[in-house]
């Protein structure tokens, strides 16, 4: 019955918001039509080309610092790796390694890596005002194969970097921008990869920022670059332009919305969309029955009980109130006309019969049909003929009464 109540509520909501629902369904049908049209009318894209990765490079820094000064937190000789922050007094030297490799199907290249320590002044937009560069390391590998790596070690004396920065600032006086220290790796790749001549350069920066008793480190660990190219694809299964899934989805949306619109409009026109008063009352009665289920027992009353005086109650709630006062159970008896509810107490029958309202409604509908039948009989007659017919019927009734 819960589904019946939900259905009636849904019908009532659809009837109340009929115009809005129609607008939404029209919008959905338009969207479905647009999806279908777009799927069929889409410009076909070239299906014989695709972008593929030919080769790639990966470069980055690994860094660490070893504890050199006794302290209550770290053991002397302990190594901290890839930290964002180190302690200048405890671990003044930053050590690390720059690693570079390339990947591809086939290759024979020479790789040269140059590490430099650079102190520079730059503003927030990246404009550089001055820089001082000091070489750190240089490595060159000939005939490096795909997947093999080249590395270069480095060591940065952080207190020395701070002193050098102070010395430069003192010599220059006021200087624009912010002074920063970076470790710069410049990589040059030359040779042949996958049958093509390659001349490629990369730049990687590791920023070291002394700040009193600490210094922070920030830089790439595995920065990747990919070289791509467009090549011909010999694949008959590659689809271009028209997408069947898009068209099918658009058709489903279009047809579903149109069917729903047609059904809804038809029911509204015929007056069957909104629930009838009888349906509403039936649902209310069923809800009321469920509400008082703890006080009701299904059963059959013996015939001799019906000879007792009878008190009619106008609602099930009222009958349950009587049962509570009398400390009795309500007996639900099923008949051909529907359920009826009874209480037997001290020779008195208390009864609630909800089917009576239904019977009265049916009888009222029959009276309405009789009136319509009478109207049909007088249809097509002019006023004088209708009056004669009416007088004849009144005389007939009068004679029957006599």
**pLDDT per residue as tens digits for the range 353-384:** 875 444 344 444 444 444 434 444 443 444 44
Q: What is the CA radius of gyration of the chain?
A: 47
- 62-115 residue pLDDT tens: 999 999 999 999 999 999 999 999 999 999 999 999 999 988 888 889 999 999
- Report residue 173 as tokens: 């006086």
- pTM here is 0.47
Backbone dihedral region for residue 271 (phi beyond 0: left; psi -120 to 50: alpha; all else: beta): left
> pLDDT category, 391, cuts 50, 70, 90?
very low
The whole-angstrom separation of Cα 122 and Cα 179 is 7
pLDDT at 402: 42
The whole-angstrom separation of Cα 198 and Cα 189 is 7
- Report residue 243 as tokens: 């997408």
- The residues, ordered by sequence, that sit 6+ positions from 215 with a Cβ below 8 Å of its Cβ are 85, 86, 88, 94, 158, 208, 209
- 168-220 residue pLDDT tens: 888 887 778 888 999 999 999 999 888 888 899 999 999 999 988 999 999 99
Could you tell me if 237 and 47 are in contact, meaning their C-beta atoms sit under 8 angstroms apart?
A: no
- The residues, ordered by sequence, that sit 6+ positions from 4 with a Cβ below 8 Å of its Cβ are 283, 286
Mean of per-residue pLDDT scores for the chain: 78
In b/e form, how buried is each residue of 11-22, taking b as 16+ CB within 10 angstroms? beebbeebeebb
3-class secondary-structure state, position 2 = helix
In b/e form, how buried is each residue of 193-204, taking b as 16+ CB within 10 angstroms? beeeebebebeb
pLDDT at 6: 73
* β-strand pairing of 93-104 with 49-66: antiparallel
pLDDT at 399: 40
Could you tell me if 119 and 164 are in contact, meaning their C-beta atoms sit under 8 angstroms apart?
A: yes
pLDDT at 45: 55
- 261-317 residue pLDDT tens: 787 788 777 777 666 666 666 676 777 777 788 888 888 888 888 888 888 888 888
In the sheet with 338-345, reading across from the earlier edge strand, the strands are 296-298, 330-335, 338-345, 348-352, 310-312
Closest by Cα among 242, 268, 267, 259 to 28: 259
Count Cα atoms within 13 angstroms, Cβ side, for 227.
19
The whole-angstrom separation of Cα 323 and Cα 296 is 9
- Report residue 396 as tokens: 């007939």
Name the percent of the chain lying above pLDDT 70: 78
DSSP string, 253-273: HHHHHHHHHHHHHHHHHHT-S
**H helical segments located in 199-243:** none
């Amino acid at each position: 019955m819960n589904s019946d109540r939900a259905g009636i509520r849904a019908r009532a909501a659809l009837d109340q918001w009929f115009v809005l629902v129609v607008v939404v369904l029209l919008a959905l049908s338009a969207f479905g039509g647009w999806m279908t049209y777009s799927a069929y009318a889409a410009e076909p894209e070239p299906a014989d080309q695709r972008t593929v990765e030919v080769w790639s490079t990966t470069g980055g820094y690994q860094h660490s610092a070893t504890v050199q000064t006794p302290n209550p937190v770290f053991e002397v000789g302990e190594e901290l790796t890839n930290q964002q922050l180190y302690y200048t007094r405890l671990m003044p030297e930053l050590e690390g390694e720059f690693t570079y490799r390339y990947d591809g199907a086939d290759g024979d290249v020479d790789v040269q890596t140059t590490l430099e320590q650079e102190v520079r002044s730059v503003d927030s937009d990246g404009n550089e005002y001055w820089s001082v560069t000091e070489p750190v390391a240089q490595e060159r590998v000939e005939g490096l194969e795909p997947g093999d790596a080249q590395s270069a070690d480095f060591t940065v004396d952080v207190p020395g970097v701070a002193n050098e920065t102070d010395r430069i600032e003192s010599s220059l006086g006021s200087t624009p921008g912010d002074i920063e220290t970076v470790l710069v790796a410049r990589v040059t790749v030359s040779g042949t990869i996958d049958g093509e001549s390659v001349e490629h350069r990369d730049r990687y920066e590791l920023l070291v920022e002394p700040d009193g008793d600490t210094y922070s480190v920030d830089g790439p660990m595995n920065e990747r670059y990919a070289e791509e190219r467009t090549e011909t694809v010999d694949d008959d299964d590659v689809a271009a332009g028209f997408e069947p899934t898009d068209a099918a989805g658009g058709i489903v949306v279009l047809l579903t919305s149109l069917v729903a619109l047609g059904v809804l409009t038809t029911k509204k026109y015929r007056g069957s969309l909104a629930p009838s008063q009888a349906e509403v009352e039936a649902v209310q009665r069923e809800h009321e029955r469920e509400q008082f289920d703890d006080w009701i027992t299904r059963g059959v009353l013996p015939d001799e009980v019906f000879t007792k005086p009878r008190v009619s109650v106008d609602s099930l709630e009222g009958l349950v109130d009587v049962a509570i006062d009398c400390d009795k159970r309500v007996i639900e008896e099923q008949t051909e006309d529907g359920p009826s509810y009874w209480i037997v107490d001290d020779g008195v029958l208390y009864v609630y019969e909800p089917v009576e309202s239904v019977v009265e409604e049916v009888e009222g509908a029959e009276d309405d049909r009789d009136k319509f039948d009478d109207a049909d009989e007088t249809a097509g007659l002019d006023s004088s003929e209708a009056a004669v017919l009416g007088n004849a019927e009144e005389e007939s009734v009068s004679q029957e009464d006599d």
